[in-house]
Amino acid sequence: MEINKTLSIIKPDAMKSKLQGKILDYLENKGFKIIAQKKMRLTKKQAETFYAIHKDRPFFNELIEFMISGDISVQVLEADNAVSHYREVMGNTDPANADEGTLRKLYGNNIQCNAVHGSDSQENANIEINFFFSKLEVIN
């Protein structure tokens, strides 16, 4: 096992439902160390850049509008196999298909408003961490 980092976002639906504290508590209990964190509101341009990989998907415009509809809370998390561990505890993209006890099952509303984002590979985690945080902002 290797200790590494992943990027987490608590999305606008969960922030509006005041679930930030519950989600952070869940993540700490699952063994993640929060080594950087910020609350922010994405601009349209920032959201489009972050999700550029999905720009040709039919849900892209809706996704962007959702992601800029309210504040988000962004974390860098450290753990053993952080990327795969987070994907496991996050659950399926669609909360209806997510396993019991996963974040999206517990707190997601639907396939779009699904409470959290987690990086899908170490390469993307590094890109996403650098998108949101400078080196100075991450505990090392």
Sites of contact with ligand ADP (CB under 6 A): 54, 59, 62-63, 93, 111-112, 114, 117, 120
Please say which residue, 25 or 62, places its beta carbon nearer to ligand ADP.
Answer: 62
Site string for Mg ion, 109-138 (x = CB under 5 A): -----------x------------------
Closest CA to 91 of 106, 107, 102, 77: 102
Residue 117 binding result from Mg ion, ligand ADP, none, given CB thresholds of 5 to 8 Å by partner type: ligand ADP
Measured in degrees and rounded to the nearest 5, phi and psi for residue 81 equal 45, 55
Placement of tokens 């005041």 in the chain:
18
Q: Kind and range of the H or E element at 85?
A: helix 82-90
Closest approach of Cβ 136 to ligand ADP, in Å? 28
State how far the Cα of 90 lies from the Cα of 114, in Å rounded to an integer.
9
Please say which residue, 45 or 136, places its beta carbon nearer to ligand ADP.
Answer: 45
Residue 53 vs residues 37, 81, 118: alpha-carbon distances, Å? 24, 23, 14
Closest approach of Cβ 95 to ligand ADP, in Å? 10
Closest approach of Cβ 60 to ligand ADP, in Å? 8
User: Please, are residues 86 and 8 in contact by the beta-carbon 8 Å criterion?
Assistant: yes
Placement of tokens 């400078």 in the chain:
134
Indicate if 85 belongs to the active site. no
Residues found near Mg ion in the complex (CB under 5 A):
120
Annotated catalytic sites, by residue?
A: 117
